[in-house]
Structure 1
Amino acid sequence: MSLLCRAVLSLRYIRVPMARNASTAFLIEDPKYSFLKDLGLKENNVGVFNGKWKANGEVIKSYSPANGKVIAEVQAGSAADYEACASAAQEAWHAWAELPAPARGEVVRQIGDALRENLQPLGKLVSLEMGKILPEAIGEVIEYIHVCDLALGLSRTLPGTVFPSERPGHVLIEKWNPLGVVGIITAFNFPVAVFGWNSAIAMVCGDATVWKPSETTPLVAVAVTKIVESVLQKNNIPGAIASLCVGGKGIGEKLVKDERMKLVSFTGSTAVGQQVGVEVQKRFGRHLLELGGNNAIIVNEDANLELFLSAALFACAGTAGQRCTTTRRLLIHKKLYSEVVNRLKKAYAGVVSRIGDPLLEETLIGPLHTPAAVDAYKKTVAEAVKLGGKIEFGGKIIEREGYFVEPTIITGLPHDSPIVKTECFAPIVYCIEIPDLETGIQYNNEVEQGLSSSLFTENLGDVFKVFIYMKIFIKLGHVLHRNMRMKF
């Protein structure tokens, strides 16, 4: 019986201009970054894998956002390279799907173990290339490991149901089968975890994958693929079931429109996600979308402020505001508004001295990912001030090598201001006064994009009120399909 599979997409297209302070020397040759070679990386790396490493596209320089210097180069894929990946994945899928699910789970378990062995160097690479602090980067790799553990269990519990039939001597059996080839396009801000979530589950379900990573984190993609490749080789599994094609917008567009990609999983901006959803739907494919967020915390009048402040500091400024779940709006009860703003300003002042190199132990906030992100931050702050906002804290670019900005608190803007309702992928939070919880819920729900919402209260009844009325927009898909069959 033939099995069908789909591609998963995750897009956030960003092209990197020449970085400030860039030099001709590659960081990979600096002994300080010896972990790069431990991962099998070189000065010049191939960014296409379909069982073999071969690429014919443009050469991409990977920059460290902490210092603006070139880490190493990756040769991206051409249109022909993508076609080779998709064809090889489709071919390899037939053999992979025929393996029993527990056998596929064993391979994924070994991938988790290989990630454990490379936890520290891979985490350091994420810090160096993406810019998040090392504990977050290591935590991201651990997320992939944990999903491998989850997938191992899933491989022995894939669902199926027996239904009664109205026909004598018959029963109805429902069996879930793989979709086929799953396309995965990931965003820069979670260059390991998002791929891992998609890949580990797709693999145990019997799907092959084609991965198009963000072109600004290609080294992470190459390193992760090398780890996966080592496990596949050890088990005599065709490498093409975990194909990689580094590239830009053109590669992503080909993947989205490719009918062999039965499912497209996209993690990235809402604007691009809408385009992806439409293109996939045109060919009656499935899509899995996890998009942008304009997330709010409601601070009710009975909130525990100590608990709130410790949570809000990371929620608003952690990862330099480059998470889709970053808190961008604080909806604060009028009785606590002044106190919360003042205490939050003091909390921010306490971490400014710990903005810096994400690989250093003392660092709490790293850089923005690209010069373009710095420009977007600068323009957003200027626009907020133009519209009547007051900079309570931050608002400036930090003049040092790399792409650093101050975490920023803005007051004085109405809840429905266009700038407040627009997501800026930077550490900017808007403080908005509310008269009551009901108004806070209303303000929370009026944005077009949302991924997480929070309420700080000690009233259990208000917690359930939020469960009923709070809107969180999350788009989901599936990597399996069901077959209904009659069997004698």
Structure 2
Amino acid sequence: MKYIIRLSSYARKSSLLKMEAPKMSKVCYSSFMHNKAYINGQFVTAASGKTFEVRNPANRDLLGCTPDMDVSDAQVAIDAAYDAFQTWQNTTAKERALVLRKWFELCEKYKEDLAMIITKESGKPLAESIGEMTYGSSFIELYAEEGKRVNGEVVQSPSPSKEMIFIRKPIGVAAMITPWNFPNAMITRKAAAAMAAGCTCVVKPAEDTPYSAIALADLSQQAGIPSGVFNVVTSSKANAADIGTLLCTSPKVAGLSFTGSTAVGKLLYKQCSEGIKRIGLELGGNAPFIVFDSADLSKAVNGLMAAKFRNTGQTCISANRILVQSKIYDKFVELVKETMQKQIVVGDGAEKGVTFGPLINESQLHKVENLVKSSLDSGAKLLLGGKRHEKGGLYYEPTIIEDCAEHTPCFAEEIFGPVVCLRKFESEEEALAIANSTNSGLAGYFFSENLSQVWRVAHKLETGMVGINDGMISAAEGCFGGIKESGIGREGSHHGMDEYTYFKYLCFGGLN
């Protein structure tokens, strides 16, 4: 990079996320942007020498060219992780905690630099990127401690001549395929849990955002995490499917964790069945956001801004179907329009004051554009936005459409974009019927000041997570995951360790 950017000039408060940019560290972010992958403790190129371009979605500037690895490179990473597991599994939980703690401290020390990398490769506003760094690092901090609490059990034996003990063991090499929308946090919440349990990792980041993964590898090396324990394999979209197949079918890989689309998750699930691998899937959502007439409308609007427009609507738990009780519908819609026009500032996320960035790539822009058009063609009504932003490029206008029926494309499908889809409802029963009429079951939100209603709706919403009078539910301590076709397993909280351990039953006989 031919320039140095200091984040102190961006210290500000985001009205969307309510967070401030802290002081800049002394190291420039570009020093973490290696144009190499990371295997067995070394920064390496692809064996073929091939690379692929990574561009800033805000302006399409070239950020760099990273190794376009194929299955042969991925196999080297798997072999390295498998060999490293033979010793890493025998380290104590305390020893693992010490290096994970060091990794956390380095991520905190350089969080502003790594946040700028996130902004450059994903397009999200800088305040959001700093928030992601804080969130991502918190998983490393949490699992540095939780690893020391992976305990077994001593159970009461039915025979006086036996003692029965259950101990927990690490599963082995854990493969991880991570998305572009949270290029730091989606890695740390998987890898930190796996490494704390005694597993080793092979990470395949998204082709749009490889630099955040490489930066984490840089800091893992500085933290003293041994060679082969944390590996990063980069590739273009052309090689991603073959690498994914190898990760699912290699006998040296014990488990796979994937965050991404439901369609890809189903394919990986099938492929992992060949080796009966441990699998964790965090897949697509279609989150309902219900506003009852007892709700505090100010809280509900602020909750919607957080749940809908974070990362330009490109989150798996983004509010997708906005259901508003008819009595308060008009007032709520007017407040949402006013708040959007007041708070949303569109532009390059690295610029001061910007709260709303571009979509990640052309494919995503076309998807949002087509969903809105087909929704309007099917009878929905446009209230705001509805087209590409005047800035051009990958920017799309913050949009509101109403009169959405269950068959309306924006209502029936996950949008992954800045589109508010509104529908009136009359009763609690109707709202729940609409909310639950989907195969997705990741997150749901509702706002109500009626305590009895809060308990009823919280229990009846068919989602793995529920935000009650809150649009920001993510935290390292939270148990993150879905039901139905939105996934298997949980990440975060102490339950995140369960994905990377198995129970071994020890029966001691002949004790009389």
Above 0.5 in TM-score? yes
Alignment partners' CA distance in 2, 1:479 and 1:160: 14
Corresponding position: 1:120 with 2:93: no
**300, 325, 328: which one aligns with 1:336:** 328
Task: Write the letter of the residue equivalent to 2:36.
Answer: V
Alignment partners' CA distance in 2, 1:77 and 1:213: 12
Aligned match of 2:41: 51
Aligned match of 2:233: 245
Corresponding position: 1:486 with 2:476: no
Task: Write the letter of the residue equivalent to 1:476.
Answer: G
After the TM superposition, which residues 258-337 of structure 1 pair with which residues of structure 2 at under 5 Å, given as runs? 258-337=250-329
Aligned match of 1:430: 421
Task: Write the letter of the residue equivalent to 1:161.
Answer: E
Corresponding position: 1:396 with 2:387: yes
After the TM superposition, which residues 380-395 of structure 1 pair with which residues of structure 2 at under 5 Å, given as runs? 380-395=371-386
Tell me how far 1:323 sits from its aligned partner.
0.4
Task: Write the letter of the residue equivalent to 1:470.
Answer: L
Aligned match of 1:476: 489
Alignment partners' CA distance in 2, 1:231 and 1:427: 38
Corresponding position: 1:30 with 2:3: yes
SS of residue matched to 1:31: coil
Task: Write the letter of the residue equivalent to 1:36.
Answer: Y
Aligned match of 1:215: 207
Deviations 1:125-156 (A, max 9, x none): 10111111112211212122211221122122
Tell me how far 1:369 sits from its aligned partner.
0.7
Contact 1:62–1:74 (CA under 8 A) maintained in structure 2: yes
Corresponding position: 1:200 with 2:213: no
Deviations 1:47-86 (A, max 9, x none): 2422222222531111101111111111122221111110
Report percent identity of matched pairs.
26
Aligned match of 2:400: 409
Tell me how far 1:418 sits from its aligned partner.
4.2
Superposed CA RMSD: 1.6
Aligned match of 1:75: 67
SS of residue matched to 2:228: helix
Contact 2:53–2:63 (CA under 8 A) maintained in structure 1: yes
The range that moved more, 335-344 or 414-423, is: 414-423
Alignment partners' CA distance in 2, 1:341 and 1:144: 34
TM-score, scaled relative to structure 1? 0.90
Alignment partners' CA distance in 2, 1:123 and 1:401: 25
Task: Write the letter of the residue equivalent to 2:504.
Answer: N
Contact 1:48–1:76 (CA under 8 A) maintained in structure 2: no
Aligned match of 1:455: 446
Length, aligned pairs only? 453
Aligned match of 1:9: none
In the alignment, structure 1 segments of 5+ residues that lack a partner are 1-27
Contact 2:375–2:409 (CA under 8 A) maintained in structure 1: no
Corresponding position: 1:373 with 2:373: no
In the alignment, structure 2 segments of 5+ residues that lack a partner are 7-26, 465-481, 483-487, 491-498
After the TM superposition, which residues 85-100 of structure 1 pair with which residues of structure 2 at under 5 Å, given as runs? 85-100=77-92
Deviations 1:138-184 (A, max 9, x none): 12121222112211221221121101112223211110000000001
Aligned match of 1:135: 127
**162, 170, 173: which one aligns with 1:170:** 162
Alignment partners' CA distance in 2, 1:63 and 1:397: 20
Tell me how far 1:401 sits from its aligned partner.
5.3
The range that moved more, 299-308 or 247-256, is: 247-256
Deviations 1:186-238 (A, max 9, x none): 00001100110011111111000000000111111111111112222xxxx53
Tell me how far 1:372 sits from its aligned partner.
1.5
TM-score, scaled relative to structure 2? 0.85
